[in-house]
Amino acid sequence: MNLFSDIRHLVIDALQSMQAAGDLPTDLDFTNVAVEPPRDALHGDMATNAAMVLAKPAGKNPRAIAEGLAERLLASDVITSADVAGPGFLNLRLAPTAWTAIVPSALAAGADFGRSDMGAGLKVNVEYVSANPTGPLHVGHTRGAVFGDALASLLDFAGYDVTREYYINDGGAQVDVLARSVYLRYLEANGQKVSFPDGTYPGDYLKQVGEAVKTKYGDTLIDQPEEAWLAELREFSTEAMMDMIRADLAQLGIKMDVFYSEKSLYGTGQIEAAIKSLDEKGLIYEGTLDPPKGKLPEDWEPRQQTLFKSTEHGDDVDRPVKKSDGSWTYFAPDIAYHYDKVQRGFDQLIDVFGADHGGYVKRMKAAVSALSDGRVPLDIKLTQLVKLYKNGEPFKMSKRAGTFVTLRDLVDQVGSDATRFVMLTRKNDAPLDFDFDKVLEQSKDNPVFYVQYAHARINSVLKKTSEAGIDADSLIAGADINLLNADAETSVIKKIAEWPRLLELAAKHNEPHRVAFYLYDLASEFHSLWNAGKDDPSLRFLQEDALEATASKLALIRSVQVTLAAGLILLGVTPIDEMR
């Protein structure tokens, strides 16, 4: 039940009856007509911009339209007042029963409260993490992982058919580096003293892989030339790294539907097919790029190469798909990979990248636009950097020295729930400060705690009820929700009613952080109502001498709990029943 879309339907109906009566032209587009919560609650329960949006195309005065609309809306028993305000806003008030109906609706839906069919089963592919298989996931990957996973859940909840996908970059030179590094660890496992020159990975995490190589191959690879072991170790090490990465993701409760290998694109004709597809559209040519504008790199020289005319699809310059020596660029397999996604029949693609891949956005969008003839939209979400703090001090890490903070470090220290929630309390395109101490702090300064506390507090009330010998569930089932008429209660109900609408907006804009902020607001409404009971005993949840009132209040807070739980689960955070 989405009260806002219900009322919007009423508005559209009224507008259509105005058209039928000749008060409005018949060829109007209603898509921009919105019904929203007013910024200031004093204005009413809901506001619509219909009159202002339609004034120009209808060639009429907005206030005149609004007045006609108000007259028709008042015929409904749901609308109790409709006032024209300002330049042509129409402020509506709803009958109290319209609001309270959200409570049983939430209770009946339970964990599915807010689920929407907005996505209409469209197939969406969300690609995220996609970290190189050369080591464990670190903090930056964690943010992308959490964001991508919450986004995927959000879209699923909003009625899309979602595929979660990880692209394994196992085709490039970095996998050779990995294999050589593992070889060194293998030698080490065989008792040799080794050092790690520049261009190898010195991290300790490869020690166990070296051991595993020894277990499998014994001493047969020692003193062998690189050609003898490189291909085998590349395969072996990539597998080992992916096992490690899968385990890391599992720590956050993330499970991918598809792991897609870059390597699988080579030698199978898939890259060639993708480039051919572009070629057939006249978008591939042999040419020379202009030098980069401004400062010229020292070693710049014009080179003939195979180029993709990405400028025809919104890019700034054309992009090479083959180097001058005839080998593929990194871009070519990326094109082939996205071509494959298009061919798998996805209606929408979403890529979650780290901010350092910002430069790829335009060319990737151009490629997908070209490959799908503009049919499949690609949205690319960049997650900005995470800055770590400990005791208020920036926490330094160095990838070169192998001392970076891993996903595992984070989860071990603060837990999966806190890690996930905190990472979602910022827009993806804003940098994030992650303070180890703050995340564990038990105060309202810490949103994880604050929201969990509200959920647990409600549980505590329900527990208290049963301790008093009252069966809360049957009481709630028989509750007369229209007893909930105090302002403090209505305010909570209105916040609950916003949930289905908020969820659709968050899904529409691919912004899971809105869910996190909403949950904080809802928790705040609840804490506020709790405290109101101290000044006004009639607002207390448990009133043993007034069971009917108690029933309605328990129904209310239980619906708050249901909403909090639905939102938390969506973000991958466990709603807890008791604070430690």
442-501 positions binding RNA, by CB under 7 A: 442-445, 449-450, 453, 456-457, 460-461, 464
Q: According to the 3-state scheme, what is the secondary structure of 322-365?
A: ECCCCCECCHHHHHHHHHHHHHCCCCEEEEEEEHHHHHHHHHHH
Q: In this complex, which beta carbon is closest to RNA, that of residue 182 or of residue 278?
A: 278
Q: In this complex, which beta carbon is closest to RNA, that of residue 407 or of residue 456?
A: 456
| Eight-state DSSP code of residue 406 | B
Q: In what order do the strands lie in the sheet with 378-383?
A: 258-261, 161-168, 123-127, 348-354, 378-383
**Run of H or E including 378:** strand 378-383
What is the nearest approach in angstroms of RNA to the Cβ of residue 523?
7
Own/partner long-range contacts of 281-287 (Cβ < 8 Å, ≥24 apart):
281/370, 281/373, 282/309, 283/308, 283/309, 283/310, 283/312, 283/370, 284/308, 284/309, 284/321, 285/309, 287/318
Judge contact between 34 and 15, C-beta under 8 A.
no
What is the nearest approach in angstroms of RNA to the Cβ of residue 386?
10
What is the nearest approach in angstroms of RNA to the Cβ of residue 144?
13
> Considering only residues 273, 427, 436, 440, which one is a binding residue for RNA as defined by CB under 7 A?
427
Q: Which stretch binds RNA (CB under 7 A): 71-79, 210-218, 478-486, 519-527?
A: 519-527
Q: Say whether 167 sits in a helix, a strand or coil.
A: strand
Rg (CA), the chain: 29
CA angle 327, 331, 333 (to 5 degrees): 75
Q: Which stretch binds RNA (CB under 7 A): 110-118, 242-250, 378-386, 399-407?
A: 378-386
Under rule CB under 7 A, residue 299 binds RNA: yes
Under rule CB under 7 A, residue 514 binds RNA: yes
For tokens 């699809």, the residue is 313
Q: State the CB neighbour count (10 A cutoff) for residue 557.
A: 23
> Considering only residues 112, 429, 437, 473, which one is a binding residue for RNA as defined by CB under 7 A?
429
Judge contact between 73 and 14, C-beta under 8 A.
yes
Under rule CB under 7 A, residue 440 binds RNA: no
What is the nearest approach in angstroms of RNA to the Cβ of residue 571?
15
Q: Exposure string (b/e) for 239-272, b if CB count within 10 Å is 16 or more?
A: ebbbebbeebbebbebebeeebbbbbbbeeebbe
Q: Which stretch binds RNA (CB under 7 A): 15-23, 341-349, 358-366, 562-570?
A: 358-366
> Considering only residues 102, 530, 560, 567, which one is a binding residue for RNA as defined by CB under 7 A?
530
Under rule CB under 7 A, residue 45 binds RNA: no
Under rule CB under 7 A, residue 531 binds RNA: yes
Q: In this complex, which beta carbon is closest to RNA, that of residue 429 or of residue 480?
A: 429
Q: State the CB neighbour count (10 A cutoff) for residue 312.
A: 14
> Considering only residues 420, 451, 541, 556, which one is a binding residue for RNA as defined by CB under 7 A?
541
Q: In this complex, which beta carbon is closest to RNA, that of residue 184 or of residue 522?
A: 522
> Considering only residues 216, 243, 300, 412, which one is a binding residue for RNA as defined by CB under 7 A?
300
Q: Which stretch binds RNA (CB under 7 A): 14-22, 87-95, 101-109, 365-373?
A: 87-95
Under rule CB under 7 A, residue 297 binds RNA: yes
Q: Say whether 470 sits in a helix, a strand or coil.
A: coil
**Run of H or E including 127:** strand 123-127
Q: Within 13 A of 427's CA, how many CA atoms are on the CB side?
A: 3
Q: Which stretch binds RNA (CB under 7 A): 113-121, 157-165, 237-245, 506-514?
A: 506-514
Q: Which stretch binds RNA (CB under 7 A): 10-18, 19-27, 116-124, 510-518?
A: 510-518
Q: How many residues sit in the footprint of RNA (CB under 7 A)?
A: 89
> Considering only residues 27, 40, 77, 223, which one is a binding residue for RNA as defined by CB under 7 A?
40
Under rule CB under 7 A, residue 400 binds RNA: no
Under rule CB under 7 A, residue 61 binds RNA: no
Residues 6+ apart with CB under 8 A from 360: 334, 353, 380
For tokens 């729930």, the residue is 417
Q: Which stretch binds RNA (CB under 7 A): 162-170, 225-233, 430-438, 479-487?
A: 430-438
Phi, psi of 308 (to 5 degrees): -100, 130
Q: In this complex, which beta carbon is closest to RNA, that of residue 110 or of residue 431?
A: 431
Q: In this complex, which beta carbon is closest to RNA, that of residue 228 or of residue 430?
A: 430
Phi, psi of 271 (to 5 degrees): -65, -45
Under rule CB under 7 A, residue 74 binds RNA: no
What is the nearest approach in angstroms of RNA to the Cβ of residue 517?
4
Token duo for residue 460 = 């505590």
Q: In this complex, which beta carbon is closest to RNA, that of residue 72 or of residue 362?
A: 362
Q: In this complex, which beta carbon is closest to RNA, that of residue 344 or of residue 508?
A: 508
Q: Which stretch binds RNA (CB under 7 A): 164-172, 296-304, 388-396, 564-572?
A: 296-304
Token duo for residue 553 = 């209040």
Token duo for residue 223 = 């003193």
Window 221-250: residues binding RNA (CB under 7 A): none
> Considering only residues 292, 374, 394, 478, which one is a binding residue for RNA as defined by CB under 7 A?
292
Under rule CB under 7 A, residue 394 binds RNA: no
Under rule CB under 7 A, residue 358 binds RNA: yes
> Considering only residues 117, 412, 536, 578, which one is a binding residue for RNA as defined by CB under 7 A?
578
Kind of pairing, strands 258-261 and 161-168? parallel
What is the rounded CA–CA span in Å between residue 76 and residue 95? 10
What is the nearest approach in angstroms of RNA to the Cβ of residue 287?
12
> Considering only residues 313, 362, 365, 558, which one is a binding residue for RNA as defined by CB under 7 A?
362
Q: In this complex, which beta carbon is closest to RNA, that of residue 209 or of residue 423?
A: 423
